[in-house]
Amino acid sequence: MAMKKLPALDGLDYVPVAGGDDVNLSFGVVRRQINNGPVQTVPEAVLRRLNPGRKANVTAPWMPHCYRWDVMLPSMAQDDCFDPKRLCERYEEQSGDSLKDLIVMMTLRFPDADRLHVIWEEVRGFARERLCRERNLAVVAAFHLPAQNGSTNPPHIHLMALAKTMKSYGFCDYVRPLAADAGKAIFAAEWADWKSRQGRCGG
């Protein structure tokens, strides 16, 4: 099925890409600015997912309040980047004025979730292999359990991949075509392949 952009929703910091067969998968790229909208930063976008429903100050120490979270790095990354605040700050420090692509935002929803630890480990395994090892991307994962706050929305995991490859000395090449509309089809195909190899995720 063809993928195309939808208009940006109010309060959303990326433009979701429509299409695909998996209704529980969404995808988009957080960019520095969309049309005449607000200017975005990596720390703001990541901290928003680490603290769903809360206002958080990016300059203060970060205290994530989502159900579970993790930072996954390629093997050549510096150890201090396991701190999500430091990771995001470093990306901005090395961004330059021309940076447009901030975060490849991939969200997986699990309406029939059963064992949450199984879902978490399978998604982490996927991100570590396909994003960190194969593409040298740094990824922040945030697992949201909306039922904890009285919501009927299903459990879901945000995979936030910083949109440039990471080496020992910093961020390098843009991760195209993943950080483009075509990225949704790539992500969907790789996630479907991963599930088929691992068994049905979430059971």
Q: So what's the pLDDT on residue 178?
A: 95
Average pLDDT over residues 118-122: 97
Q: Which residues of 153-183 are buried (b: 16+ CB within 10 A; e: fewer)?
A: ebbbbbbbbbbbbbeeeebeeebeebbbbeb
- Mean pLDDT across the chain, nearest whole number? 90
Q: Phi first, then psi: what are they for 79, rounded to 5°?
A: -60, -30
Domain presence at residue 203: no
- Helix 116-126 × helix 183-198 angle, to 10°: 120
- Place 195 in a pLDDT band, splitting at 50, 70 and 90: very high
Convert the pLDDT of each residue in 33-80 to its tens digit: 888 888 899 999 999 999 998 888 999 999 999 999 999 999 999 999
Could you tell me which residues come within 8 angstroms of residue 140 by beta carbon, excluding any fewer than 6 positions away? 46, 49, 50, 69, 70, 71, 72, 84, 87, 88, 160
Query: Is 108 inside any structural domain?
Result: yes
Joined tokens for residue 185: 């089809």
202 closest CA partner among 99, 121, 92, 81: 121
pLDDT level of residue 183 (50, 70, 90 thresholds): very high
Helical spans, DSSP H, in the chain: 42-50, 84-93, 116-126, 134-135, 183-198
Q: What is the number of structural domains in the chain?
A: 1
Q: 124-165, pLDDT tens digit by residue?
A: 999 999 999 999 999 999 999 998 888 889 999 999 999 999
Does 124 map to a domain? yes
| CA–CA distance, 106 with 161 (Å, rounded to integer) | 8
**What is the distance between the alpha carbons of residues 197 and 175, in angstroms, rounded to a whole number?**
25
Q: How confident is the model at residue 9 (pLDDT cuts 50, 70, 90)?
A: very low
Domain range enclosing 93:
4-197
Confidence band for 200, pLDDT divided at 50, 70 and 90: low
Tokens of 31: 């960019």
Is residue 202 a part of any domain in this protein? no
Q: Are strands 4-5 and 14-18 parallel, antiparallel or unpaired?
A: antiparallel
DSSP character at residue 79: G
Whether 139 maps to a domain, the answer reads yes
**CATH number, residue 85:** 3.30.930.30
Residue 6 has pLDDT above 80, yes or no: no
